[in-house]
Structure formats: C-alpha cells, structure tokens
C-alpha cells in the first residue's frame, strides 16, 4: 500500500473523529483497515516523542521514506505524531502519523548511526527495546534482533532545531530519555 492511500485512510479516520480530543489537545486517529507489512498503521492514538533533556520533539524532515528524523520544537503536528506498536519480537515499532512510515536506525548499531524513516516491514533496524509504554524511558536499538547497548540520542544533548537523531552507546543521560505515549 502506498503512502497516499495510507494518508487517505488517516484523513477519513480523522474526519470521522474530528470531535474527539485527548487532554492536552491531541487529535485521536482511529484504526483503518489498511496494513503495512507486519503492523497495522493508524490503529490508536498518535503522540509526540519528546526528549526529556531539551523538550524537543522527533519528526521527519519530510513525510517520505528515507527522510532523516530530526528534533524540532513541539508543535502538535501530524509530522510529530508517533504510534508505538508492540512487536512479536519483544520490542516496539514507531509509526509516523504524517508519512505512514516507521522509525529506522539506519546502518548498524554504532555511535553516530542516523535515524530516518523506512517503509514499515519486519526488520530489526525498526525494532526498539524500551520500558512498557507509555512511559518516560530510553529507547535501545534491537538491530540484529537483540539488545545492542545503543540508544536513541540527541547529539551532544544539543537544543539545535533540525538536528538529526542518532544512536549512541546507552549512558542514561537526559539526551537519551524520551517521553513516549503521552499527549
């Protein structure tokens, strides 16, 4: 299924539920019958993924596959809407509301590996280990179907808008702590 058909499904779902509002002002998106490989997109509520250290939110540069995922000031847009989906491999996938694509730790588990969007499919680069969600937690890559010891990280704990998110050795700093699943 292509991105434009997914967007149409989302638009129809949002139109149906236009009056529904989550505390904090986020819109509720209802499940569509569309399927994107191993996950069902648009099933549930989309919320921002916000860094604890700098209060910035994750979003793709563009709502298309292979777009880098960066941090920007939180604005409540669909670009910053993410749905966490429990995976059969014991982790979570993160689906972007605007694109219908999944968060992906490109290349391999190493310091500086960039994050971007990828077509949702059953690959370990799209799978992440974290505490039960919703939660305030770290997000560890499961590249190779195992915990890697590399976590989603804001480079240098920077507050710079537009900075691409990376993998970095898990270290417990605020640059690696995320608010996930709350509006």
Q: What is the pLDDT of residue 30?
A: 28
Q: What is the pLDDT of residue 88?
A: 83
Q: Please give the tally of structural domains in the chain.
A: 1
Residue 40 lies in a domain: no
Q: What is the pLDDT of residue 183?
A: 67
Q: What is the pLDDT of residue 156?
A: 97
Per-residue pLDDT of the chain (183 residues; tens, 9 = 90+): 333 333 333 333 322 222 222 223 333 232 232 333 333 434 458 999 999 999 999 999 999 999 999 999 999 999 999 999 998 888 999 999 999 999 999 888 999 999 999 999 888 889 999 998 999 999 999 999 899 999 999 999 999 999 999 999 999 999 999 999 886
Residue 41 lies in a domain: no
Residue 33 lies in a domain: no
Q: What is the pLDDT of residue 177?
A: 98
DSSP label of 5: H
Residue 159 lies in a domain: yes
Dist CA 3 CA 88 (whole Å)? 24
Residue 133 lies in a domain: yes
CATH number at residue 159: 2.80.10.50
Phi-psi region of 18 (alpha: psi -120 to 50; beta: other; left: phi over 0): alpha
Do 83 and 180 touch, CB atoms closer than 8 A? no
pTM over 0.85: no
Q: What is the pLDDT of residue 90?
A: 83
Q: What is the pLDDT of residue 108?
A: 87
Host domain of residue 157: 46-180
Q: Which residue has the tokens 């710079």?
A: 160
Dist CA 105 CA 17 (whole Å)? 33
Q: What's the pLDDT tens digit per position in 133-175?
A: 999 999 999 999 899 999 999 999 999 999 999 999 999 999 9
Dist CA 46 CA 58 (whole Å)? 12
DSSP label of 27: B
Dist CA 76 CA 1 (whole Å)? 26
Residue 51 lies in a domain: yes
């Amino acid at each position: 299924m292509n991105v434009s058909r997914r967007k149409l499904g989302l638009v129809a779902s949002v139109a149906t539920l236009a009056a529904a509002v989550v505390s904090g002002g986020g819109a509720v998106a209802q499940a569509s019958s569309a399927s994107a490989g191993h996950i069902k997109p648009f099933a549930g509520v989309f919320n921002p993924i916000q860094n604890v250290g700098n209060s910035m939110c994750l979003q793709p540069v563009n709502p298309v596959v292979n777009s880098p995922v960066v941090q920007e000031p939180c604005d409540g847009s669909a670009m910053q809407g993410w749905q966490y989906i429990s995976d059969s491999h014991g982790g979570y996938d993160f689906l972007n509301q605007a694109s219908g694509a999944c968060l992906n730790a490109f290349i391999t588990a190493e310091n500086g590996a960039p994050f971007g969007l990828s077509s949702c499919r059953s690959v370990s680069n799209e799978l992440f280990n974290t505490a039960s969600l919703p939660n305030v937690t770290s997000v560890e890559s499961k590249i190779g179907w195992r915990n890697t010891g590399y976590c989603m990280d804001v480079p240098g704990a920077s507050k710079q808008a537009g900075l691409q998110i990376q993998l970095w050795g898990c270290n417990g700093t605020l640059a690696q702590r995320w608010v996930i699943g709350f509006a």
